[in-house]
Structure 1
């Protein structure tokens, strides 16, 4: 990513030019003046904390020893880790400043920002995953779902990167428990090393074993689950205008399709209207294919994880193999294609979908493919 490459501290001085960073990104300037709890962030507002975290990262020998591309990617993650705080900061009932939900919302915001900047999909999703999980190492050993989270991070990014991000986050603040938090982060790194997921993706016996590990809490990750699938359901995911119909015609021409666009037309439902009847009809069509043991394509936007989970859960219940194909295109291509459709989706609806967009990841299906259409 050229913009981040140009701003990332470089040897021999490793200096951070914060004025250039502020000039480059409006979302950095938006951090100015956003308050934080003085107990945990005695340094001041979110912009001050972000600058200090970036400076802390640049001072780390572990970061400096990384290849240049990895340094840039981590710099981007630290720079964006609190990007959602301006939208999440509020006072709780006791008058304390909080920013609940900023990690998850930061994931969504970072994805949109990096998509608009033209970041490669894998690079973007690596950064977004780090942002979403950047607080996990602080209290990781208290979480009952720690193993699943650590494995998920390893499949999307690298836990060693998450350790560096979390460390920079702590070192870039003034708080009374920084030593304890840094110890917790180090323990998280040791835990990931013991679980075989610190510097690379956690290995599973098969894609079927991985799929069911993430569906059943407490399942042994080493269990080689017997693959009893009897059909393959291809679940598409993508914004309006990415070319889902074209992909089906080219790659699944003879496979039945559950099409939400077609169902909307049949039911007379606008894309901006209540979609519950459309979703119910789609699920009923899907059940027909599943009962018959027939492979099919599920053609819908499915931009959120919860939407895809509704599909995957139904498919898995009928011993189906879940394949997710995530299609995307540059913003200008998406909007031009959508406006050229016979029945374009309103821009406001597209914008709402972009704000909710969660790219599919390997924990959701037997197979996930990220494809860019141009």
Structure 2
């Protein structure tokens, strides 16, 4: 993701040293709640999550590598550090480990990434590429600490390079370690250095791994017997275009402009034609079943077609994509996104208006399509 030539910043928060933490807390009201969230003293002798977050951010700003970044790149990392433990506030609990009560925060990075995405989309209208870098850095901030212990460390660094910058990820991880008080810093920093060397070895240190083809990338990400440099012969003879995006974002318009000659399976059309109630679970089950039957007719004929639905979550998309793959279809996801205010405006101009509160609720559940899901992904964003 190239962030150059993008100018953006959070209102009232400037990156200058020393940081004005009163102003930062004023802008991010959730930050003060971290003062009451404890951490396990084995890993965080400094105390609560707020104290740790401040130490991480201030450590990051003193890195020479950070100072060498462009202003936009600095902002991405600054906000990633600020947000990296945001959901320890909702996930922190205690559990008994080896007979001892310990403080744990399971899945705080994954949940935090979703919170960050929603906040930056809804409140700050953050440019898509910048927002996704921040969200993915939050989600993956622990990766450099444990990647080397995975069954296939090379695949871990290659996968992360597709969604963010491994060099930035390493900087965030180092600041996370140096911005705490613990007894095993050197061991953890050594693991991060191995992550760095592995990323460089795979030629994805400060850029995405360059696959020979989209098909090769898809096979590599979904199979354990494929080398990343493998260039397969593509034997897929027809294509299914899977639309993904909020109601009112312009999926129908995009289809008319680009795929008007393609047959289309549309869950909304099935629902409207049969006067099914979208709030009725039984009716929605019938819509899905009828959609599958329509799709299977086209799949058996190996005819390229468009599958038009919101398809906002990973689980929903994969249920359909697995069906398409079973018939040897090439799958392309087209994800469309616009600022929320623009979506609300376009929604009001549609024949079939969706309540704004429904769109807002859906926006908090979005899983941005990932490269393991389909042979090709197109992002159409503003």
Alignment match, 1:323: 332
How far off its partner does 1:342 sit?
4.4
Which digits, 9 at most, give the CA deviation of each residue in 1:228-270, with x for residues without a partner? 0111111111111111112112221121111111222345443
Greater alpha carbon shift after TM alignment, 33-42 vs 57-66: 33-42
Alignment match, 1:207: 214
How far off its partner does 1:324 sit?
1.0
| Residues 1:142 and 2:138 are matched in the alignment | no
User: In structure 2, which of residues 16, 28, 32 is the aligned counterpart of residue 29 of structure 1?
Assistant: 32
Cα pair 1:121 1:370 within 8 Å, conserved: no
| Residues 1:165 and 2:168 are matched in the alignment | no
How far off its partner does 1:209 sit?
0.6
How far off its partner does 1:163 sit?
0.3
Alignment match, 2:305: 296
Counterparts in 2 of 1:190 and 1:250: CA distance versus 1, 3 Å: same
Return the TM-score normalized by structure 2.
0.90
Alignment match, 1:174: 181
Counterparts in 2 of 1:217 and 1:112: CA distance versus 1, 3 Å: same
Which digits, 9 at most, give the CA deviation of each residue in 1:128-150, with x for residues without a partner? 11111111111111112433332
Residue-pair matches, total: 370
| Residues 1:44 and 2:50 are matched in the alignment | no
How far off its partner does 1:168 sit?
0.9
User: In structure 1, which of residues 287, 296, 300 is the aligned counterpart of residue 296 of structure 2?
Assistant: 287
User: In structure 2, which of residues 91, 96, 110 is the aligned counterpart of residue 104 of structure 1?
Assistant: 110
Q: In 2, distance between residues paired with 1:166 and 1:291?
A: 49
Counterparts in 2 of 1:308 and 1:93: CA distance versus 1, 3 Å: same
Note the 1:224-263 alignment, pairs <5 A: 224-263=231-270
Which digits, 9 at most, give the CA deviation of each residue in 1:15-59, with x for residues without a partner? 222111111112323323122222212212211111110001011
For structure 2, the residue ranges without an aligned partner over 5 or more in a row are: 1-6
Q: In 2, distance between residues paired with 1:246 and 1:206?
A: 29
Counterparts in 2 of 1:266 and 1:79: CA distance versus 1, 3 Å: same
How far off its partner does 1:89 sit?
1.7
Greater alpha carbon shift after TM alignment, 58-67 vs 23-32: 23-32
Q: In 2, distance between residues paired with 1:92 and 1:351?
A: 35
Return the TM-score normalized by structure 1.
0.92
- CA-based RMSD of the aligned residues comes to 2.1
User: In structure 2, which of residues 124, 134, 137 is the aligned counterpart of residue 130 of structure 1?
Assistant: 137
Greater alpha carbon shift after TM alignment, 354-363 vs 46-55: 354-363
How far off its partner does 1:338 sit?
3.4
